[in-house]
Chains A and B, each alone.
Chain A
């Protein structure tokens, strides 16, 4: 496995390098967007880690350029205050994001998830199973702890969308577009209300969800085994 790290902060770069080397990844690093892009083109990495605050280029532009020639998963690294940029990066084609500061285990888990999604994008599995929750996509059935759960059409669409990309954060905009089509208004209240209904059917305590997590200001993420 090879990874390209585009990060201008030397210490963070070497920290990520150390972690990835321990995880048996081969790493290449670049401190600028231009260098990064040429590294990606020449090395064909399996995963790209991209810091949003680069000195020479806007992170969005890099993602757009990368997406012109490859589907290699991109994980965006951003600071807590850059919410809007985070969402924009995801909507631009980034696969996931990490908020600084992040820990070793979190970094590795996100990379594993992104890699898994990129590898099985062709043949999706027909069943999602995690904890007590089982979703059979072919039969359109959901069971929690052996008990069948009844969801409305839209609720089922939402849950299956999240489950098929479990572990990955799906933005409000993406979900709205997938369920209500491109011509919905920008208000995502209807999504929030539907999610609340789903939560009441799937979670024991909506304040401490086990399966569907909220990423404030960004979207939702479904638990992955």
Chain B
């Protein structure tokens, strides 16, 4: 059972060998020093043996492989016999009862050194196993996300292809208004696709390993106004009431990403509220955070969806009532972005509709004007 490990383990590097050697030497030296003090005080050889056993166990724990522990234990047995037992400074293994003591000590220290080595290998192995499990879990999440995305992409694509092909095939049989209707549907679906792709692209700006973003201090008003500009361009009919604090607030953020979050939330409000009254976007600061509120005046969010709203693709299976192609990914991307900024995002219902709130930490310098 130990053989596979041995063959798997590469030869120790020079550096590791030197380190092992140093630990062994220092460990034995300390043990010898302690024993010498002990020996001068009490002349008790049994305690000295215990000190050496302890040293051997510690050495085995702190070095790689079995070698050091076994070498240290053999050395200890010989050394105790040589120095601390009568006749002093002479090797004598036939003293009364001593062979048993020494044999026992050799076995105990060798055993404990192999045991600790073995234990270390076990721990490493289980760490590896855990890592593999985590990787598998990640892989599964990635596959789920991909499946959800391709589902979300296929829906509008199917409609675009179908509509354009039917336009081309029946061009002479359709009247002008029918044609306009078809082209409008294509434009709408293409717009939706673009939105989706931009969302996905924005995620690539987040660092994979650290889940963080490159932030720079940006004036809040510029991000809000730029997001609104793009939003109006996309939805010319929409109305948003905006109110932000009077003073100049600079927030550390990746402006492109926060812009994306704002557009997603505004668009979400327009699509899902089922109401014509204007959405409101307001920002206030409190307790070291800037809080962004996006409120609509519509039907609100059904309570059973509130918990999984930001999970996106996990709730895909049972979404049915809300037919506008899963905004779920948009919201889950909002959450990813806000988390990467060390902020929070949440949703709740107010008496008159739904409200999304996200908070971003204020930087150290906020210029007053």
Residues of A within 8 A of B (CB): 80-81, 83, 101, 189, 192-193, 195-197, 199-200, 205-209, 213-217
Contacts and interface: CB of A to CB of B under 8 A. Distances in A.
B201 A196 contact: no
19 contacts: A81-B201, A81-B204, A83-B256, A101-B194, A193-B367, A196-B221, A197-B369, A199-B221, A205-B242, A206-B221, A207-B221, A207-B224, A207-B242, A207-B244, A208-B225, A214-B222, A215-B226, A216-B255, A216-B256
A197 to B, nearest CB: 6
Contacts of A193: 219, 248, 367
> Which range holds the interface residue count of chain B?
20 to 34
B229 A207 contact: no
Interface of chain B: mostly helix, strand, loop or mixed: helix
B221 to A, nearest CB: 4
A208 B248 CA distance: 14
A197 B198 CA distance: 32
Contacts of A208: 225, 228, 242
A21 B219 CA distance: 41
Given A189-B217, A196-B219, A206-B244, 15 more contacts: A81-B201, A192-B250, A193-B367, A195-B219, A196-B248, A199-B221, A206-B225, A207-B242, A208-B242, A209-B225, A213-B226, A216-B223, A216-B256, A216-B259, A217-B256
Contacts of B244: 206-207
B256 A200 contact: no
Pairs of residues from A and B, 6 with the lowest C-beta to C-beta distance, nearest first: A214-B222, A206-B221, A196-B248, A207-B242, A207-B224, A216-B226
Contacts of A81: 201, 204
Contacts of B222: 192, 195, 214, 216
Nearest to B281: A207
A30 to B, nearest CB: 26
B217 A214 contact: no
A217 B255 contact: yes
A72 to B, nearest CB: 28
Nearest to A193: B367
Contacts of A195: 219, 222
A103 to B, nearest CB: 8
Contacts of A213: 225-226, 229
A110 to B, nearest CB: 14
B219 A192 contact: yes
B225 A200 contact: no
Contacts of A216: 222-223, 226, 255-256, 259
